[in-house]
Amino acid sequence: MDEPAIEPAEPEGPPRTPLAVTLSEGGLSRRIDGFDGERLLDALLRAKAAVMPLCNGRACCGGCRIRIEKSWRDRVTPSGRGERSVLRYIDDPHEDDRLSCQIALSAEVEGLVVRTLERQPAPAQAGADAEEINAGK
Ligand code: FES
């Protein structure tokens, strides 16, 4: 039996301002559409990018990891404790890695450049760490 596809969250309220994001994937770059106030993850899911958000945006699976282009590193939403904890345990960590479910799109990041990674972390490993966070360890 096939698993149901994870869909981007539906925007709530009035229409929002569209924003451009540049996505590099498999050596090709393309513009994808995001909206002010939504998660980067939702824009990636609509664009059918190679992310696997098993926890659906709760910052515990690591499957939505992307790499931010260096010049954008300090302009996106800062990472929180839970995100940093997940990123600490993923394979081949990099200082520009982020969880796309933890990045909010806004006019300040219009033109953001990100890329997907070929390898995503093992969800069980990242999930175990998230359980520690939720338990207050
Ligand atoms: S969707 Fe699981 S960490 Fe982002």
In short, whether 121's Cβ falls inside 6 Å of ligand 1 is no
Domain that holds residue 126: 18-134
In short, whether 55's Cβ falls inside 6 Å of ligand 1 is yes
CATH number for the domain including 128? 3.10.20.30
In short, whether 53's Cβ falls inside 6 Å of ligand 1 is yes
pLDDT tens readout for residues 59-80: 999 999 999 999 999 999 999 9
At 118 the pLDDT is 76
At 78 the pLDDT is 92
pTM of the model: 0.80
Residue 1 counted as domain residue: no
Report whether 107 contacts 58 (CB < 8 A): no
C-alpha distances out from residue 91 to 15, 47, 60, 88, 103, Å: 38, 25, 15, 9, 21
At 16 the pLDDT is 84
At 137 the pLDDT is 40
| Listed residue (90, 85, 48) closest to 67, CA to CA | 90
Residue 4 counted as domain residue: no
At 11 the pLDDT is 61
Domain count for the chain: 1
Low-confidence ranges of the chain (pLDDT < 70): 1-6, 10-12, 14-15, 119-137
At 128 the pLDDT is 44
